[in-house]
Every structure is written in C-alpha cells, then in structure tokens.
Amino acid sequence: MTDEVTGQVGFHDEYAENFEDIAANIFAPIYPVISQQITNRCQIMSGTFIDVGSGPASLAIALSKLVDGKVYAMDFSEKMLAIAKKKIESCDLNENVIPIFGDIHDMPFDDCFAELVVSRGSLFFWQNVSLAFREIYRVLKPGGMAYIGGGFGTAQLKSKITQAMEKRDPAWSQCVEKRLNKTNLDSFKKALHVAEIDHYRIIDDESGFWICFNKVD
C-alpha cells in the first residue's frame, strides 16, 4: 500500500476502495511523469522490475508502458491486490504487470532477481527501514538499481494535488511535509548505513524525495 492515505503500518483492507478512488481521480497524472523520471535517471529499460507497496498498481502500470519486461506489483493487502488485478486486466497488461502478495521486510523473490526496484510513498510507513533496504538490495541483480521515495513529479502537479486533497482533509499537506523533515532524513541515512549500503544518492527537488542506490557487481 502506498501514498498518502495510509501505509505499511496499520493498513486495513476497508481503506482499499477509498485509496483507489484517490489514486485514480486525484493522483493519476503523477504516475506517467514519475515513471519517465525513473527511466531517465536509472537508464534501465529492460529486465525484471518490482514496484514495492504498489497499491492499485498505478506506478507499475505506468512503468510497464516504458520498459521491456515484467513488472511485479507487490502489496501486502489482499483487497488492494484484487483492485490492482482488475486495473491491470482493464489495461490489457496481464502479461506485463504481475500482482503479487508480499511484505517489504520479507520479499517473495529470489536473490538477484530484479534489475530495478521502485516504490512511491511506502517508505515512510515501513516498520523496519534498514531491514527493508537489505531486502531490496538482496533481490537486486548485480548492477541493478533501487529508486525509493515519494513525490508528485513536478511542482505544478504537487500544487494541484495539494489543493484537491486539502478539500478532503485540511491537515493533509502538513502531514506530508512532516515526513520529509530533517529527523526523517537522518533516520533514512542511518538505516542505509545499518543495511551496509554506503553508496547512494538522495534526490530532493521538485520531483520529490528519492533515495537511489545500485547493487555493486
């Protein structure tokens, strides 16, 4: 489960339909933009891909339209996966996007499985961030990359979505900004160190907040 409705901690299946409504009707424009930014920055256009905390598979679907290979849309909510499956079928992408149940702390993939692991929004809700980073590193192939974080793609999209979400919840933007404070940033750096991931890049610009690292050959 990703984005700003709920997350890895305390998610309940009854939120799934509400989340899908928001993802489809408010957040929809960001996924093609973020997918393009991912491929531009990572330069990985073929292979095996994993979208962690995929929710209704919005990012996985957008990414699949840019790359050659299978994209696994992993989530830990069965109801969310059912919604993702219907969405994937409606896009006629059954061969390209594979919904799969899984927990970021114990991913259902072999070692050295994927060229690229992505996630938008779920990072801020992981129970054990260092363990999650270790798992991502484990499933990456040598030379593979991770692109993990949260954002809206552009300042214009962020402004538009903020206006729409604040109509639903006036405190929404304050909650989002709180996740990107210095305390959280320092905790992510510490988690990377504990996970023994020493070479990483942090992107903090209008595209969002993203942590990028690759698996050393």
171-182 pLDDT, tens digit per residue, is 888 888 877 776
Give the mean pLDDT of the chain: 90
DSSP 102: -
- pLDDT-based confidence at 13, cuts 50/70/90? low
Reference 53, options 18, 87, 15, 101; nearest CA is 101
Residues 6+ apart with CB under 8 A from 136: 52, 104, 107, 117, 146, 148
CATH topology of domain 13-214: Rossmann fold (3.40.50)
What is the distance between the alpha carbons of residues 39 and 97, in angstroms, rounded to a whole number? 17
As a whole number, mean pLDDT of residues 177-193 equals: 84
Does the global pTM surpass 0.85? Answer: yes
88-97 pLDDT, tens digit per residue, is 999 999 999 9
What pLDDT, on the 0 to 100 scale, is given for residue 179? 77
Q: Write down the domain spans for the chain.
A: 13-214
28-45 pLDDT, tens digit per residue, is 999 999 999 999 999 999
